[in-house]
Amino acid sequence: MSRTSRPARPLIAIPARFSATTSALRYAAEVNARALIEAVWRAGGEPAGIHPAATDVTERLARFDGVLLPGGGDLAPHRYGAPGVHDSVYDVDEVQDAFDLEVARHAVRSGLPLLAVCRGLQVVNVALGGTLEQDMGGPDGEHRHVVHPVAVQRGTLLERATRAQKVEASCYHHQRVDRLGTGLAITARAADHTVEGLELPGAQGWFTAVQWHPEDTAHEDPTQQGLFDALVRAARA
C-alpha cells in the first residue's frame, strides 16, 4: 500500500484535564497522561485532546470517530445527589464535570464508540443516573497504588477486548460505584466486590468502562492494550 493510500487513523477525542502546574510551561495547562495517549496511538488511533468548555458537545464531537473518557479528580457530589461532601473528595472542577457528563451522554446516546477509564467510568455511571460511594474507607479500603486481580464476566465486550476472564488491574481510586446508572451492567469486580467494569447491554455503539488504569501497563501487557485496540477497531468500523 502506498503512503498516500494508507487509511487515516480514526480520530479519538480525549477530554483534557485542567492542571494548575506543568513542567516547562509558564501557565496552567490542559493535559492527558502520556501513557494514555501512547496506548491509543499504538492501537492505530489519532488521539486528540479537546478543551472542556460550555459549548455544543454534539457539534464538537461530530468530527470524531470515538471517545476516551480518562481518569482525573472527583466528581462534585451534588452531581449524583449526595447530601454532603466527604473530606477526601479532591480536585473537583464544575466545568470539567459538566463537560465530561455531557460527552458521556452524547456518546452513549449517539452510539459513538466510548472507552471510559477510572473517573470516566464514574462519569458514565452518574450521567445515567447512578451514584458513587464518596470514600471507600481510607488507606485500608481504598484502591490507590494497588495492582490486584479483577474477575471479568464471560460474554462481555470487556472479555472480548482483553481476551481474559481475570486481569491484573492497576488501580488508583478512593471512590466506587454505589447505585448503578440506568441500563448499566457490571462486567468486572475486585475481590472486595468493588465494581471494576461496566457496559450497557443493547447499546447502539461499542462501549465499555473500567475502574482501573489500563494505560499504566498497556505497553507491556497485551491484555490491557486490548482495550485501546478494541476502541480503535470500533472507531474505524
**Residues contacting residue 89 through CB under 8 Å, at least 6 positions apart:** 74, 77, 134, 135
Burial class of residue 4, CB neighbours in 10 A (0-12, 13-18, 19+): exposed
**Residue 120 in 3-state DSSP?**
helix
**Residue 188 in 3-state DSSP?**
strand
Distance CA 187, CA 168 (A): 15
Active site (annotated) includes residue 118: yes
Which residue type, as a one-letter code, is found at position 191? A
Beta-bridge mates of residue 66: 12
Q: Are 94 and 76 in contact (CB under 8 A)?
A: yes
Active site (annotated) includes residue 174: no
Strand bridging mode 114-117 / 207-210: parallel
Active site (annotated) includes residue 215: yes
Query: Of the residues 102, 106, 118, 143, which is catalytic?
Result: 118
User: Among 81, 64, 87, which residue's Cα sits nearest to residue 179?
Assistant: 81
Distance CA 115, CA 12 (A): 10
Q: Are 93 and 139 in contact (CB under 8 A)?
A: no
**Residues contacting residue 19 through CB under 8 Å, at least 6 positions apart:** 28, 29, 30, 31
Catalytic annotation, residues: 118, 213, 215
